[in-house]
Chains A and B, each alone.
Chain A
Amino acid sequence: MAADNPQADTKSPAEILAERLGALAHRRFHAANGVARVARLTAGATQEIWRFDLTHEGGSDTPLILRRTPAGRMAAAASGAGGGGGGSSISLDVEAEVLRLAEGVHVPVPSVKYVLSPQDELGVGFIMEYVEGETLGGRIVRDARFEATRPKLARQCGEILARIHSISPGAAPKLRHQTPAELVAHWRAAYDNSNCPRPVFDLAFAWLQARLPPAREPTLVHGDFRNGNLMFRPGEGVVAVLDWELAHVGDPMEDLGWICVNPWRFGVVDKPVGGFGEREDLYAGYEAAGGEKVDRAHVRFWEVFGALRWGVMCAGMTAAFRMGDPSVERAVIARRASETEVDLMRMLAP
């Protein structure tokens, strides 16, 4: 908590944050006179998400979301670097830029209302529109209220991805570009570091190495476009694409493969797109909205890559469990690495 005001030690971090948000509202939001109902929604290792209402003279309130990395945690976030598609996150100010680019090509995203400046003393981050909807993947694939909407979701996802991929990488110069070969090498090094042999992973790396997609013009890639990071409403379908922190520049087919990886089907294995749709609908939406013609084998490469990446991440939890965070949850996630082994075997050696 060294980042927060040391003189105000009688105030809680939440009170300090509410005060600073209130001052920011006066300075930066026209006709606003303060904030109310400031409440923390999630607590990540580096990031925080807060909900609050912007209050106005005359009584109307606007619900908003603050996403921030407190100043004291910036160094920790930066030291975890590796780069975009390599698996590490972009900073929140860069994420705000990417969100604005996405909004500019009509991707449904929460509108960015304000990017924090040092004067605000709130760390790095931004304030965005509060969007109502469902994000829990299990509910999307099972709840009766989504039954009528579900069949159109895969096509919608394809259309949205085509728009994301239409953004010129030149518009986002801070994003890192990684080729398929570099990404495979990155995750192979992470697997080697786990120091635990998993012959199925070696088989998958050999399979990927033999099928590296040819060099191509790179595009913006969302990096984590999957059921669980999308917000849905019955009837409308996708109302917001969230969690852009793995955005990078690379092969657009990476996004089409990742949404098909089995853990994101939430148990509905026979609906390959997010547990709610069919591949052909995803591809049709993609091509209809201006995306390039989809090469099925090329998407398959990224689906295998996605499963393997997820598996290496889970396996990496063992080191985190032993060295930094001996929580039961970490231990159990580490034991999910074998899930990806069965997914890989079903794809590579059926």
Chain B
Amino acid sequence: MQDEPRPEEILAAVAAFLKGPAVRESGPHISFQLRVCANAVEIAQRCITLGPPAEAEELARLHALLLTDGDLPTLNRELAARIRDGRVTLETPGLKEHLWATTMAKLAVDQPNYSGYRAALAERAAGKEA
């Protein structure tokens, strides 16, 4: 067992440092790059915390959808191939739900503030209520 603090805690501290003191004490060009670095560190941090459970769920959905064994890259390649040749379409039971769940899990890691993601969250919450 590795020692603590956990990697996600260390990355959170790095991001906070980059966005705070480092940006304050640098010129305009470097401060822009520092914000990009902070953004990158936060993506890595969210990958560590949110990635494994999301990928486990994605794998389970792919097994159910494709009825095939394999790891995530293999099954995603298989799904891509079946969509491409028309064996799987939006009418295929489970496809739409799977793609939405996978996409939302990616965005939660990559760009949780993206306008299209925020809009999708609101639309999907409204859809469940209705």
User: Which A residues fall within an 8 A CB radius of B?
Assistant: 197-203, 205-206, 262, 265-269, 328-329, 331-332, 335-336, 338-339, 341-343, 345-346, 348-350
Residue total for B at the interface (Cβ-Cβ under 8 A): 35
Q: Chain A residues with Cβ under 8 A from B81's Cβ?
A: 202
Shortest Cβ distance from A127 into chain B, in angstroms? 27
Q: Which 3 pairs, one residue from A and one from B, show the smallest C-beta to C-beta distance?
A: A197-B76, A202-B83, A197-B80
Q: Which of B36, B40, B73, B86 contacts A206 (CB 8 A)?
A: B86
- For the residues of A in contact with B, the DSSP-based class is helix
Q: How far is the CA of A249 from the CA of B84 in the complex (A)?
A: 28
Judging by beta carbons under 8 Å apart, are B80 and A339 in contact?
A: no
Nearest to B96 among chain A residues (CB) is A349
Contact call B73/A197, Cβ cutoff below 8 A: yes
Residues of A within 8 A of B89 (CB): 206
B111 touches A335 (CB 8 A): yes
User: Residues 77-120 of chain B: 1 if any A CB is under 8 Å from the residue's CB, otherwise 0?
Assistant: 10111011010011000001001101110110011001111111
Q: For residue B2, give the distance in angstroms from its CB to the closest CB of chain A.
A: 25
Given A338-B103, A341-B106, do A328 and B120 touch, yes or no (CB 8 Å)? no
- Whether the Cβ atoms of A202 and B103 lie closer than 8 Å is no
Contact in complex: B119, A346 (CB < 8 Å): yes
Chain A CB within 10 Å, residue with most, of B40, B81, B115, B116: B116
Contacts of B33 in A (CB 8 A): 328-329
Q: Are A332 and B43 in contact (CB under 8 A)?
A: yes
Q: Within 8 Å of chain A (Cβ to Cβ): is B39? A: yes
Are A339 and B40 touching (Cβ within 8 A)? no
Contact of B80 among A199, A332, A336 (CB under 8 A): A199
Q: Which residues of A contact B117 (CB under 8 A)?
A: 339, 342
- The CA of A198 and the CA of B80, in the complex, are separated in Å by 7
Give the chain B neighbours of A203 by CB distance below 8 A: 83, 90, 99
Q: Does A338 contact B80, Cβ atoms closer than 8 Å?
A: no
Residues in chain A near residue B12, CB distance under 8 A: none
Check if B4 is an interface residue, CB within 8 A of chain A. no
**Interface membership of B129, Cβ < 8 A:** no
Whether A200 and B116, one on each chain, are in contact in the complex, defined by CB atoms closer than 8 angstroms, is: no
Cβ-based interface call for B54 (8 A): no
Partner of B77, one of A197, A268, A335, A339: A197
Cβ of B71 within 8 Å of any chain A Cβ, yes or no, is no
Q: List 9 A-B contacts (CB under 8 A).
A: A197-B77, A203-B90, A206-B89, A266-B115, A332-B40, A332-B43, A338-B103, A339-B114, A342-B114
